[in-house]
Amino acid sequence: MSAPILETRALQKNFGALTVAQNIDFSLEPGTFEALIGPNGAGKSTFVNLLTGLVQPTSGSVILDGEDVTALSIEARVKRGLVRTFQINTLFNSLTVAENVILALDEFHGQGWRPLPSPSRRRLIRDEAYEILGRLGLDPWGNREVRELPYGRQRLVEIAIALALRPKVLLLDEPAAGIPSTETGTVIEVLENLASNLAVLIIEHDMDLVFRFAQRITVLVQGAVLARGTPDEIANNETVKSVYLGEGIHA
């Protein structure tokens, strides 16, 4: 097994008396497609927030590619390849789909400080944006304002922005939420194909999909890791069955 690209050590977060992350030791290897599952309010989104720096942990540390990034800002972690999408769309709604991606590409290429326009560069970046949109089947929508898109498509723009940042680690917070269930499979397939050269951690509620696509699964309940393992191991784990999967949820 190769060295983990992302790790947490004894990661803890309390909101007052409420513990939402409890002593979490987690690791993610390059090239893996891993799922994070757990009931609503288990602390999945908070875990992603802790990893990316949107929320500061009470104690413990986050290690990215061997470097302790716990004290680093959100943007510093992004620059190091730790990229996320949001459970609720956080897009630039009055911009077009392509412009949303271009904004991210500009930052990625270090153009964000460039105070003068450059038409030739612009064309290159535009082409790159459309190449990314193409991968998600969004290119016909490139010129539309984000808010004109159906919610399901908007979810894909979230992912397109993330891809523009060339992540080493991609954290997807319920990317399929709001996408018609007939299409979620295709989305996950697209994402899975990306995973060959990056590590993906996906939060997803559809257990059929999770068990079909994930190479590893982490089960989070009340802020604590209940179990980690391959889909087979998780499906046969008695504790998981009784606490989470057993509650009439599939698998």
Ligand X SMILES: Nc1ncnc2c1ncn2[C@@H]1O[C@H](COP(=O)(O)OP(=O)(O)O)[C@@H](O)[C@H]1O
Is residue 246 helix, strand or coil?
coil
**Shortest Å, Cβ 216 to Mg ion:** 20
- Residue in 56, 59, 90, 186 binding other proteins, rule: CB under 8 A: 90
- Residue in 12, 19, 111, 222 binding other proteins, rule: CB under 8 A: 111
130 contacts 139 by C-beta, under 8 angstroms: yes
CA dist 234 → 72, 177, 210, 245 (Å): 34, 23, 11, 9
* Closest to 7 measured CA to CA, from 73, 75, 69: 69
46 contacts 20 by C-beta, under 8 angstroms: yes
Comparing CB distances to other proteins, the nearer of 157 and 245 is: 157
Contact string 42-61 vs ligand X (x = CB under 6 A)? xxxxx---------------
Comparing CB distances to ligand X, the nearer of 10 and 18 is: 18
Q: Which stretch binds other proteins (CB under 8 A): 24-32, 58-66, 112-120, 194-202?
A: 112-120
139 binds other proteins (CB under 8 A): no
200 contacts 34 by C-beta, under 8 angstroms: yes
Comparing CB distances to other proteins, the nearer of 64 and 245 is: 64
Cα–Cα distance, 37 to 43 (Å, whole number): 10
Burial of 36 (0-12, 13-18, 19+ CB in 10 A): buried
Comparing CB distances to other proteins, the nearer of 25 and 75 is: 75
Is residue 228 helix, strand or coil?
strand
116 binds other proteins (CB under 8 A): yes
- Residue in 9, 79, 135, 168 binding other proteins, rule: CB under 8 A: 79
Contact string 148-177 vs other proteins (x = CB under 8 A)? -------------x--xx------------
Is residue 203 helix, strand or coil?
strand
Comparing CB distances to ligand X, the nearer of 38 and 142 is: 38
Residues that bind Mg ion (CB under 5 A): 44-45, 87
